[in-house]
């Protein structure tokens, strides 16, 4: 039984607390009790005190993912609650939100309660269900939002499908605001994307694949922002992928519309050219766009027009991807590789380290109303120990997710989560760290 965790001489970084210093951090009974130079000097040595030598390492607030597909119930061969939470912990996530496009769809209190109970029993990263906006995600009848919220849902989305009807969207925004739940939209005008396989552009023409034009996202975002303004409700755009969405969000925010947005690591890193060669690993919805979209998304994350990064972790089986492009399932995994990939963009100067940390901690917490992980005395200890120098290669065999579907396999990255701590408990530990600590 461990009573205390001690991180000695670690670089603790929490932009919100104005903290970036080499300090000792002491965790006792689930909370951070001391932060400061030599703060650990009078902690007695004991079998019940776990000491981490933090030299050269960083201590960061634990990460929050607004957008993960855990696939349970119904698609447990792709992922289940247990495997998703293990992947999340290995990626440094202390909270993840689970999208409802399962089988059956999470449009009910029963499924929401099931997910909450199963995740609690697993006892690691915490899981927060997102309930469906409409029954069966069919876009017609609203779900029992109060029931979903009471059972533990922190937001509502028909992700994977767009709420196409303006009337349904209007009612959804009005009802959800009574329960202070954000409406999370998958913005895709399905009439414009029927049969689409990838972004509409020169690559789709060359490959002979039907294209998904940017405007199919932009028209929905424009309409939704008008509805959000009209209803004064909270609207969150899932996986923004276009320059047009950025422009619309910027304008809406400047006029005080209560809109927020997320962007995925893959939309910040890849373009439609990565699909050349019929790369099914790069088939994703919304599709990978063009360099100027990527540039706009990076700038929007940097200046806060886009609030946060969300993984859209979408595990699929081998045969879902090892097939003809038009039969392949869209999606990529992301939980275990998000942080090092995004640190790469910080190192390239795309956005600052403090903006990155905010976009994976405080910003998503605010959107779904979770307490933000912080590094300050008395805060609940939800932390990650991170080695900024560790170099490793992303390999399928080492991934805890059942899904191995990522185009980043084989990519060399720098930076590794060594340990993840939830309410003072070490829920994940990389093997090297285990060997190096006492
Ligand atoms: O690529 C995607 N995959 N986009 C979605 O919206 C859904 C997700 C999935 O569930 O696989």
Tell me the per-residue pLDDT of 318-344, one tens digit each, with 9 for 90 and over: 999 999 999 999 999 999 999 999 999
* Beta carbon of 330 within 6 Å of any ligand 1 atom: yes
Mean pLDDT of the chain: 97
For the chain, how many helices (H) and strands (E)?
15, 18
Contact 197, 283 (CB under 8 A): yes
> Three-state DSSP class for 224?
helix
436 torsion bin: left (phi>0), alpha (psi -120 to 50), beta (else)? alpha
* Beta carbon of 314 within 6 Å of any ligand 1 atom: yes
Of these residues, 24, 158, 307, 312, which one is catalytic? 312
Contact 95, 372 (CB under 8 A): no
Tell me whether residue 312 is one of the annotated catalytic residues: yes
* Beta carbon of 231 within 6 Å of any ligand 1 atom: no
Please state which of the ranges 30-44, 259-273, 415-429 shows the lowest mean pLDDT.
30-44
* Beta carbon of 159 within 6 Å of any ligand 1 atom: yes
Q: Determine the distance separating the centroid of ligand 1 and the alpha carbon of 330, expressed in angstroms.
A: 6
CA distances (Å), origin 35, targets 39, 45, 317, 437: 6, 18, 44, 20
Is pLDDT at 8 greater than 60 in this prediction?
Answer: yes
Please enumerate in sequence order all residues whose Cβ is within 8 A of that of 316, keeping only pairs 6 or more positions apart, or say none. Answer: 78, 329, 331, 403, 405
Nearest alpha-carbon partner for 72 in 83, 63, 61: 83
Per-domain residue ranges of the chain = 4-60+376-435, 62-368
Q: How many residues does the chain have?
A: 438
| Residue 431: per-residue pLDDT | 82
Q: How far apart are CA 92 and CA 81, in angstroms?
A: 16
The fraction of the chain above a pLDDT of 90, given in percent, is 95
Count of C-beta atoms within a 10 Å radius of residue 55: 10
- In the DSSP assignment, the letter for residue 370 is P
Q: Determine the distance separating the centroid of ligand 1 and the alpha carbon of 284, expressed in angstroms.
A: 7
Contact 13, 19 (CB under 8 A): yes
Q: Determine the distance separating the centroid of ligand 1 and the alpha carbon of 340, expressed in angstroms.
A: 22
Give the CATH superfamily of 62-368: Metal-dependent hydrolases (3.20.20.140)
Task: Give domain 4-60+376-435's CATH number out of 2.70.98.30, 3.90.1150.10, 2.30.40.10, 3.40.50.300.
Answer: 2.30.40.10
Tokens of 219: 């028209």
* Beta carbon of 238 within 6 Å of any ligand 1 atom: no
Going through 222-365 in order, the beta strands assigned E by DSSP cover 235-237, 259-263, 308-309
Contact 328, 282 (CB under 8 A): no
Is pLDDT at 44 greater than 90 in this prediction?
Answer: no
Q: Whose CA is nearest to atom 6 of ligand 1?
A: 160
Tell me the per-residue pLDDT of 101-149, one tens digit each, with 9 for 90 and over: 999 999 999 999 999 999 999 999 999 999 999 999 999 999 999 999 9
Ligand 1 atom closest to Cα of residue 331: 1
């Amino acid at each position: 039984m461990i009573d205390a965790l001690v991180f000695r001489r670690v670089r603790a970084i929490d932009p919100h607390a104005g903290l970036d210093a080499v300090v000792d951090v002491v965790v006792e009974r689930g909370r951070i009790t001391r932060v400061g130079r030599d703060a650990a000097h009078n902690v007695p040595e004991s079998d019940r005190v776990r000491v981490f030598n933090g030299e050269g390492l960083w201590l960061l607030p634990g990460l929050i993912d607004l957008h993960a597909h855990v696939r349970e119930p119904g698609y447990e061969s792709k992922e289940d609650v247990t495997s998703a939470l293990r992947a999340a912990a290995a990626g440094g996530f202390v909270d993840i939100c689970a999208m409802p496009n399962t089988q059956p769809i999470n449009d009910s209190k029963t499924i929401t309660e099931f997910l909450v109970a199963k995740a609690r029993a697993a006892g690691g990263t915490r899981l927060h269900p997102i309930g469906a906006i409409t029954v069966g995600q069919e876009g017609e009848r609203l779900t029992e939002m109060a029931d979903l919220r009471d059972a533990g849902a922190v937001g509502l989305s028909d992700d994977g499908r767009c709420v196409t009807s303006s009337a349904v969207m209007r009612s959804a925004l009005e009802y959800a605001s009574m329960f202070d739940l954000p409406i999370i939209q998958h913005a895709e005008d399905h009439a414009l994307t029927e049969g689409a396989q990838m972004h509409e552009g020169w690559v789709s023409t060359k490959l002979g694949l039907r294209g998904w034009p940017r405007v199919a996202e932009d028209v929905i975002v424009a309409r939704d922002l008008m509805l959000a303004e009209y209803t004064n409700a909270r609207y969150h755009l899932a996986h923004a992928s276009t320059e047009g969405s950025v422009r619309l969000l910027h304008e809406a925010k400047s006029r005080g519309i209560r809109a927020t947005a997320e962007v995925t690591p893959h939309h910040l890193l890849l373009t439609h050219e990565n699909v050349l060669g019929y790369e099914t690993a790069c088939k994703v919805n919304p599709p990978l766009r063009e360099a100027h979209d990527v540039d706009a998304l990076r700038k929007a994350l940097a200046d806060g027009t886009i609030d946060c990064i969300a993984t859209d972790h979408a595990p699929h089986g081998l045969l879902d991807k090892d097939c003809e492009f038009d039969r392949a399932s869209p999606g990529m995994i992301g939980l275990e590789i998000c942080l090092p990939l995004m640190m790469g963009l910080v190192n390239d100067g795309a956005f600052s380290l403090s903006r990155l940390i905010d976009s994976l901690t405080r910003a998503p917490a605010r959107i779904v109303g979770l307490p933000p992980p912080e590094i300050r005395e008395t805060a609940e200890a939800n932390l990650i120990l991170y080695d900024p120098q560790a170099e490793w290669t992303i390999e399928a065999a080492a991934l805890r997710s059942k899904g191995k579907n990522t185009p980043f396999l084989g990519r060399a990255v720098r930076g590794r989560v060594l340990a993840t701590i939830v309410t003072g408990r070490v829920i994940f530990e990389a093997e090297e760290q285990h060997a190096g600590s006492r």
